[in-house]
Chain A
Amino acid sequence: MAATATGLGFAPAIAVFPLVAFVITLVFGRHLPKKGALPGILATAGSLVISLVMFAAVAGGATYHTMLYEWTSGAATSETMAEGIEFTFGILIDPLSALMLVIVSLVALLVHVFSLGYMNAEGETGLRRYYAELGLFTFSMLAFVFADNLLMAFMFFELVGLCSYLLIGFWFRTESAPSAAKKAFLVTRFGDYFFLIGVVAIAATFGTVGFAGEESFVTAAETAIDDGATLFGFDAQTWVTITGLLVLGGVLGKSAQFPFHTWLPDAMEGPTTVSALIHAATMVAAGVYLVARMFGYYALSPTALTIIAFVGGFTALFAATMAVVKDDIKQVLAYSTISQYGYMMLGLGVGGYVAGVFHLMNHAFFKALLFLGAGAVIILMHHEQDMWEMGGLKDKAPVTYYTFLAGALALAGIVPFSGFWSKDEVLFDALAVGLEQPVILAAYAMGLLAVFFTGFYTFRMVFLTFHGDPRSEAAEDPHSVGWAVKVPLLALGTLAAVAGFVNLAPVAELLHADITFLEFWLDGEYGAVDGLTYHAYHETVAFEEGGIGSETTTMLLSAGLSLGLALAGAFTAHTLYNVPEPSRHTTKLGGAYRVLKSNYYQDEYQVWLAEGLMLPLARAADRFDQTVIDGVVNGISTISLFGSDRLKRIQTGIVTNYAALLVGGFIGLLLVLGYLGGWFA
């Protein structure tokens, strides 16, 4: 392939730019203007340009798959009898990664620009560290996105987790930020533990960790299932399910899916810009992206897919209900993120690869927008985050208001904003499969119900923040925001409004027009790596699809249902909160309010698991170690010490005694040898 001609040979630079920015900022940040923001902005802009070149190249039919560096290789024979295994660093540019590279570098660039207004203008200290960490974060995510094998993906997955830890704990002098950072690190690490076992299991089973091509573990797994092979005592299908679920552990941790979602709301302790980056394009997106990246593998196992779909649907509803009672604007957004990633998991879990990726893309835009909008609101409000202290910002900050509104409409899924098209497609795919599969129907039902809550909490947030009368002095007299805040908001606001048009599936169905561009894109109409296309995945997924009447009726019914519920939610919020003096209305919820406010006691039971179960277990293990293991070791040494203490007494220091022992020993030896030789017989 003519890599140089299409510019694909520049692919490594996408990740190298932010890495260079990281080093420059770390070393020279103190002396740079803007405390090191400029290298980051230039680097992410460079990454964006090259990502767009990649995107154009893939659109022109080219793909890029190359090995950059070989760590190590060995001659071990795997379970499927593949000879030899290599661990490498490589780059895979295909439609999915090209799309994701553009999203990540774009959001990273806008977050860097926004940081000028959010961090620099507010006179924060430690900005050199901040920008250096942002650079490292962007680098890790970009390298994760173009990784061509599971081990490399795992390494950068971990690096992404580390960077989130650093950035969430940016204000490490406060009490809550370091604790939130530790929680994020530990909870995601718990999931990554399973991921690591999954990587080892896949490597040991198939002798390869590659994502693409004939040498990939996906192809090897498919062959093993077709041959009816037995892997480690399981039949191939079961083993694929087990390893897939192990990898899924990492995904659930990073993408904050139930029950590993507890770290994400706490992660709001970091700067709002960091939240935007984490939620839209990096940390949390990494999990879902990994599922999409190795979708061919999950497609082989209907059980794993069903679990993904069910966890996704459940999380979508679960998190949406918690968002309803939050007072902090960032907390609402945090729970909405968990909920939206639930939708993506639901979409991917029912085999809707396009729907899941579509929602991932739209969510990246509108969630980055909402978080940056929330950041702007926080600037306006002199660092107040409680929505009950806001109100009436609509007329005082029109740019923030209208862009935030665009993001909110997209999040709630109101036509024609981007979120509607992707969420509708997820729900349609779930319904189609659900009509044949009761478990998935339940997941669909939860997802559908969550639409109502999404509409409700989104507009509750909008109305409380921007509508009504100002409820505090800060809201009466908001701080002004500069161009560095407005430009990213406008860019993302436009994208949140129009990004959905790349895949107007319902319209295409009605008009019989070929306008589902994202589907074509992911299906390799323009360019793709063999086997990594929507078509190939769709053939592998074993789900039957049903319909109510014709496909068009089903689609319209699904779209109408979700739109109706979203509008109902928004309307409920409108009647309750879009009044000059809104009240909390929490008493109407009764006992449910306490449960929701306490986040279903998820933190409590996890702390109980740690303190009530794991701590005594660890203590018992410690006691076993201290007494039994150490006891054996100490006992042996005591016996040896005691014995030698007795034995050394035969050394008297008197030469005569030694001579007597020598003679006695010689005579004894002589007698024994003589006896054995038959003298006394």
Chain B
Amino acid sequence: MTVDVQYYVLLSMAVFCIGLFGVLTRRNALLFLMSVELMLNAANINLIAFAFYHGNLTGQLFALFTMALAAAEVAVGLGIILVLYRNFRDVDVTVPTTMRW
């Protein structure tokens, strides 16, 4: 038996909303990064679900690209967080506001 595509979409939406909630409410930069990962994976679920639904492998292929991208993004993000910590002795994203104007 197969699961209908709408359940995948619901799952994906739930994961995305959890990620978005994290981005909007958390102050810790590490949690920020995790929330972004959640949103990316929500997109991956969508891609794979629709690829399966259409019987087309392109979506799965793109999911792989997205994973590679996410890995790169984590590397850059963690680098930024390290520098942030070195400068401000904190990973709270509300602290470094001096670069605005």
Contacts and interface: CB of A to CB of B under 8 A. Distances in A.
Judge: A and B partners, yes or no. Answer: yes
Interface of A: 648, 651-656, 659-660, 663
Nearest to B96: A653
B88 interface: no
Interface string B6-34: 00000000000000100111110000100
25 contacts: A648-B101, A651-B100, A651-B101, A652-B97, A652-B100, A653-B96, A653-B97, A653-B98, A653-B99, A654-B93, A654-B94, A654-B97, A655-B32, A655-B93, A656-B23, A656-B24, A656-B25, A656-B26, A656-B27, A656-B94, A659-B23, A659-B24, A660-B24, A663-B20, A663-B24
B26 to A, nearest CB: 8
A436 B22 CA distance: 108
Chain A interface mostly helix, strand, loop or mixed? Answer: helix
Contacts of B25: 656
B37 to A, nearest CB: 15
B27 to A, nearest CB: 7
Contacts of A648: 101
A659 B19 CA distance: 12
Interface string B70-101: 00000000000000000000000110111111
Q: Which 8 A-B pairs have the closest CB atoms?
A: A653-B97, A653-B100, A655-B93, A651-B100, A654-B94, A659-B23, A648-B101, A660-B24
A303 B25 CA distance: 92
Given A663-B20, A663-B24, A656 B97 contact: no
Contacts of B24: 656, 659-660, 663
A637 to B, nearest CB: 19
A648 B25 CA distance: 23
B95 to A, nearest CB: 9
A655 B96 CA distance: 9
A663 B96 CA distance: 22
Contacts of A655: 32, 93
A193 to B, nearest CB: 53
A648 B24 CA distance: 21
Most buried by B among A648, A651, A652, A654: A654
Contacts of B32: 655
A124 B34 CA distance: 95
Contacts of A656: 23-27, 93-94
Contacts of B27: 656
A149 B24 CA distance: 81
Nearest to B101: A648
A466 to B, nearest CB: 89
A656 B93 CA distance: 8
Contacts of B98: 653
Contacts of A652: 97, 100
Contacts of A653: 96-100
A135 to B, nearest CB: 66
B16 to A, nearest CB: 11
A654 B99 CA distance: 10
A659 B23 CA distance: 7
Contacts of B100: 651-653
A655 B92 CA distance: 10
Interface string B43-64: 0000000000000000000000
Contacts of A659: 23-24
Given A652-B100, A659-B24, A663-B24, 15 more contacts: A648-B101, A651-B101, A653-B96, A653-B98, A653-B99, A653-B100, A654-B94, A654-B97, A655-B93, A656-B23, A656-B26, A656-B93, A656-B94, A660-B24, A663-B20
B35 to A, nearest CB: 10
Contacts of A654: 93-94, 97
A654 B24 CA distance: 11
A261 B20 CA distance: 89
A640 to B, nearest CB: 16
B99 to A, nearest CB: 6
A559 B23 CA distance: 113
Nearest to B20: A663
A659 B27 CA distance: 12
Contacts of B93: 654-656
A659 B24 CA distance: 7
B88 to A, nearest CB: 12
A659 B26 CA distance: 12
Nearest to B100: A653
A656 to B, nearest CB: 6
B57 to A, nearest CB: 30
A669 to B, nearest CB: 16
A652 B93 CA distance: 12
A282 B52 CA distance: 101
Most buried by A among B20, B23, B32: B23
B28 to A, nearest CB: 11
Contacts of B96: 653
Nearest to B98: A653
A448 B71 CA distance: 110
Nearest to A654: B94
